[in-house]
Structure 1
Amino acid sequence: MTLPLSAPPMPPGSRPATRVAIGGPAARRAAIAAGALVLAAATLPWWAPAEQASAWMREFVEIACYLLFAMMWNLLAGYGGLVSIGQQAYFGFGGYAMLVLGNFAGVNPFVAVPLGALAAALVAVPVSRVAFRLQGGYFAIGTWVIAEVFRLSVANLAVVGGGSGTSLTALRGIARPVRELATYGLALVCVVAALALVYAFLRSQRGLALLAIRDNEVAAESQGIDVRGTKLAVYVVAAFGAGLAGALYFVGNLRISPDAAFSVNWTAFAIFMVVIGGIGRIEGPIVGALVFWALNKAFSEYGTWYLLGLGLLAVVVTLRFPRGLAGWAQQRFGLNLFPTQRRLLD
C-alpha cells in the first residue's frame, strides 16, 4: 500500500516563510526592449550615415552627461533623502582631475575619465565629515557652500588656467572622428553600467535599507541598519557618478573653466530633470534628461526667458503630475520599466 505524501510537520510557533517578488512580465519585456536599444546604439556608427552619425553621437554624449548627473542626484536625494544643491562640486572636480591627468600626467584622457570620477569619490570622503554635521536645509546650503569653495580654489590655480580656464591639449594628436567615436562609446558604457548598478543596488537588501533610512532614520537604526555607513556609501557613490559625468562632459567639450564646471546650474538642472521625470524612480532621470535636452535644443537661445520657462514648467508638472511624468505613466498605463517595489506573494 502506498501512503500519501505530506509535508513534514512544522515546529511549534513557526510559520511559513514569506515569499517576496520584484518585477513581472512587463519588466521582462522592458529589459528585452532596453537590450535592443543598447544594441542599436552600440552599432550606430556602422549603420547611420556618416554626417548624421557624428551629430547623433555628440548629442548622445550630452544626454548621457545630463542623465548620469541627474541619476546620481536622484539616488542621493530621491532614495537616500540627502537633498544636496552642491553636487556640482564633484562634477567640476571630476572634470579638472581628468584634465590634470591628461595634460600633465600623460594619461590617455579616456582612461582619465573613470580616474577623475574615482578622484571625486575619494575627495568626497573627507568632505562628508563636514557635510554630515548638518541636517535638513542646513545640509543643502552647506553642500552649496562647499561647491563654492571648490570653485574659488580652482579659480586661483594658475596651473589650470585660473578663472578663465584652459583646454584639454592631451587630445590634440587624435583625429576628430576617432575622438568622437571613443567619447560616444565611453558614454554608452557609462550610462548602461550606471543604470544596471543602480538598479541592482536598489533591488538588494542595502537598497531596501536606504529606503528605510530615507523614511525614518530612527526606526531604521532601531532595526540594526548602519545609518551613517549607508549614507556615507551613497554620498560617495553619488560623488563618483557626478565626477564621471563631469569628466565625460569636458572630454567631449575639450575646454573647462571654474564657472562652467562648478556652476550651481548643474544641480538646478538635475533637480529639474528629476522633478519632471519623477523623484525616487529610476525612470525619472531618463525621462527628465530627454525632456531637458529637447527643451535646451529648442529654447536655450532665449536666455533668461528660457530659464524662467523651465521653472514654470517644473511648477506646472509638480502640480499636475505630483509623481512626475514617469510616475503618471506608471499609474495610467502600468508602465514600470525598473521595478524595485517588493510584493508579498503569501
Structure 2
Amino acid sequence: MFKWVAVAVQPEKEVALMKKPLTKHRRVVVTGVGVVTSIGQDADTFYNNLLNGVSGINQVMGVLDKTRCGVIIGSALGGMKVFNDGVEALRVSYKKMNPFCVPFATTNVGSAILAMDLDLMLCGGSDAAIIPIGLGGFVACRTLSHRNDDPTKASRPWDSDRDGFVLGEGAGILLLEELEHAKRRGAQIYAEFLGGSCTCDAYHMTEPHPDGMGISLCIEQALAQTGVFKEDINYINAHATSTQTGDLREFQALVRCFGGNPELRVNSTKSMIGHLLGAAGAVEAVATVKAIQTGWIHPNINLENPDKAVDKHVLVGAKKERMDIKVALSNSFGFGGHNSSILFAPYK
C-alpha cells in the first residue's frame, strides 16, 4: 500500500537568485474588487475605514457563553440560517430533478461560467464561522483572544500584549482579466496581478515551522515565478493574526527575505477586522490593491508595545502613511502549514 507524505524542502540560497526572465505571456490585471466586511460593504468604504483605523470588532452575544470564549468580530454577513434542503431532496424523485441542478449548485460554477463566456476570472473567498460549532472549535484550540472587556483592542498583531486572534467573517472578490481584453472594453484597471506561489511546511497541524522556512520558501518562489527582485518589494500586507508564535515566525521570514530594505513597510489588516479564515486572503488582497490604487497604506492599530523580537521601524504605526508602492506582497497562511504569497504592482 502506498503512503503519501508531504515534504517541505529547505530553500537553497540560489532560489532567490533563480529569476525567471520577464514573462512573455499575457499580462493579467485587476479590473474589479468587492468586499463584505464588518467595516464596509464595498471596497471604498472598507478601505477608507482601514485608513482611519476603524475597528469592526465587537462582542457577539447569544452564540456561546462569553465567559468561555474569546472575543469575536461582529458578523458582517447576517444571522444564522438552517437549511433543510438535503432532507427535502430525499422526498423528491431524482427523475423530476433537472440534470443541471448539481453543476449549478457547486460553489465554483459562477466563476466557471463567467470565465467561459467572458474570458474573465472571479478570484476570492468567503467564510462565516461565527456559529456554535465554529466558535466552540476555536475555543477548544485556545487560539482566541480573551480581551472581552475591550473588543476593539483584542486584535493586536506584533504587540507584546497579544493573547490570540479574533474570529471574523466576510467575503472578498477580485475580477481578473487579460490586459488587452480589459483595454478593449475600456475597463478601469486597479493594479496588475503578477503571480504568486504556495508551499506546505509539513510540520504541525496548527503551528508554523519554528524557523519559518516554509514561509520563506513560498515568498522566494513567488519572486522567482514572477521575475520580481526582492528589493522591488516595498509594501507587505502580512498574514499576522495576533498569535504569539505565528506573528513572529512570519516576521522572521520577512526579515530573512527582505531584511536591509529601508523602504519596506508592513501592516496587518486583521488588526481591524480580525481573522476571516477562508476569506482572509481575498479581503486582504483587496486591501493591497486599494493601497496601490490610493497611494495610502493603512495603520496597524493596537500596536502599542511592539514585541521585542520585531523591528518596529518596519511596521506601520498608528496612522496611515502615504506610499509610492513599487510591488506589493500579500501573505495568507492556514492550518497545516499551508502558505501562499501573491504579488501586485501598479499598472504601467
Report the TM-score when normalising by structure 1: 0.26
Q: Looking at secondary structure, tell me which structure has more strand per residue.
A: 2
Question: Relative contact order, CA 8 A, sep 6+: which one is greater?
Answer: 1
Q: Looking at secondary structure, tell me which structure has more helix per residue.
A: 1
Report the TM-score when normalising by structure 2: 0.26
